Structure 1
Amino acid sequence: MYPRNLLSSSTGLAAAFVLLATLWGTSFVAIEAGLAYVPPLLFAGIRYAIAGVVVLAYAAVVSDRWLPSGRDEWLGIAVAGAFVIAAYHGLLYVGELYISGAVAAVIVSLSPVLTAVFAAVTLSEARLGSVEIAGFALGLLGVVIIADPAGVSTFTSNADGTLSPELIGIGLVFLSAIAFSIGAVLLRPLRTDLPIAALQGWAMVLGAGLLFGGAAVLSESPAAIVWNRTAILSLAYLTVFSGVIAFLVYFALLDAVGPTQLHLVGYAEPIVAAVGSWVLLGHVIEAEAILGFLAILAGFAALERREIAAYVSARTGVIR
Structure 2
Amino acid sequence: MNLRNVISTPESIVAAFVLLATLWGSSFVAIEAGLHYFPPLLFAGVRYAIAGAIVLGFAAVTSGRTLPRRRDEWLGIAVAGAFVIAAYHGLLYVAELHVTGAVAAVIVSLSPVLTATFAALVLPNERLGPVEIGGFALGILGVVVIADPLGAGTGSAALFGVGLAFAGAVSFSLGAVLLRPLRTDFPIAALQGWAMVAGAGALFVGAAALGESPAAIVWNVTSVASLSYLTLLSGVVAFLIYFALLDEVGPTQLHLVGYAEPVVAAVGSWALLGSLIEAEALVGFVAILAGFAMLERHEIAAYVGVENPFRAH
Interval of TM-score (by shorter of Structure 1 and Structure 2): over 0.9
Q: How far apart are the structure 1 equivalents of 2:36 and 2:121?
A: 40
Q: Aligned residue for 1:154?
A: 152
2:190 is the alignment partner of 1:192: no
Q: How far apart are the structure 2 equivalents of 1:59 and 1:2?
A: 11
Q: Aligned residue for 2:92?
A: 92
Q: Aligned residue for 1:40?
A: 40
Q: Aligned residue for 1:133?
A: 133
> 170-179 vs 2-11, which deviates more?
2-11
- 1:8 aligned counterpart, secondary structure: coil
User: Aligned partner of 2:68: which letter?
Assistant: P
2:172 is the alignment partner of 1:174: no
Q: How far apart are the structure 1 equivalents of 2:138 and 2:151?
A: 23
The 5 A counterparts of 1:135-284 are: 135-148=135-148, 152-156=150-154, 163-284=155-276
Q: How far apart are the structure 2 equivalents of 1:299 and 1:2?
A: 35
CA RMSD of aligned residues (A): 1.1
Tell me if structure 2 keeps the 8 A contact 1:146–1:289: yes
Q: Aligned residue for 1:295?
A: 287
User: Aligned partner of 2:123: which letter?
Assistant: L
Q: How far apart are the structure 2 equivalents of 1:274 and 1:139?
A: 19
Structure 1 residue ranges, 4+ long, deviating more than 6 angstroms after superposition? none
How many residue pairs end up in the alignment? 306
CA separation of 1:302 and 1:246: change in aligned 2, threshold 3 A: same
Tell me if structure 2 keeps the 8 A contact 1:48–1:204: yes
- 1:268 aligned counterpart, secondary structure: helix
- Unpaired runs of 5+ residues, structure 1, are 157-162, 315-320
> 173-182 vs 303-312, which deviates more?
303-312
Q: Describe the superposition over 1:34-55 as per-residue Cα deviations: whole angstroms up to 9, x where unpaired.
A: 0011000000000000000000
Tell me if structure 2 keeps the 8 A contact 1:2–1:249: no
- Unpaired runs of 5+ residues, structure 2, are 307-313
User: Aligned partner of 1:176: which letter?
Assistant: G
C-alpha deviation, 1:2, in angstroms: 6.6
Q: Aligned residue for 2:310?
A: none
C-alpha deviation, 1:5, in angstroms: 3.0
- 2:240 aligned counterpart, secondary structure: helix
Q: Aligned residue for 1:69?
A: 69
Q: TM-score, normalised by structure 2?
A: 0.96
User: Aligned partner of 2:4: which letter?
Assistant: R
Tell me if structure 2 keeps the 8 A contact 1:2–1:248: no
Q: Aligned residue for 1:26?
A: 26
C-alpha deviation, 1:260, in angstroms: 1.1
Tell me if structure 2 keeps the 8 A contact 1:66–1:195: yes
Q: Aligned residue for 1:309?
A: 301
- 1:284 aligned counterpart, secondary structure: coil
C-alpha deviation, 1:188, in angstroms: 0.5
Q: Aligned residue for 1:80?
A: 80
Q: How far apart are the structure 2 equivalents of 1:8 and 1:173?
A: 34
CA separation of 1:124 and 1:190: change in aligned 2, threshold 3 A: same
Q: TM-score, normalised by structure 1?
A: 0.94
User: Aligned partner of 1:188: which letter?
Assistant: R
User: Aligned partner of 2:86: which letter?
Assistant: A
User: Aligned partner of 2:275: which letter?
Assistant: H
CA separation of 1:312 and 1:71: change in aligned 2, threshold 3 A: same
C-alpha deviation, 1:152, in angstroms: 1.8
User: Aligned partner of 1:169: which letter?
Assistant: G
User: Aligned partner of 2:163: which letter?
Assistant: G
Q: How far apart are the structure 1 equivalents of 2:153 and 2:144?
A: 11
C-alpha deviation, 1:6, in angstroms: 3.4
User: Aligned partner of 2:246: which letter?
Assistant: L
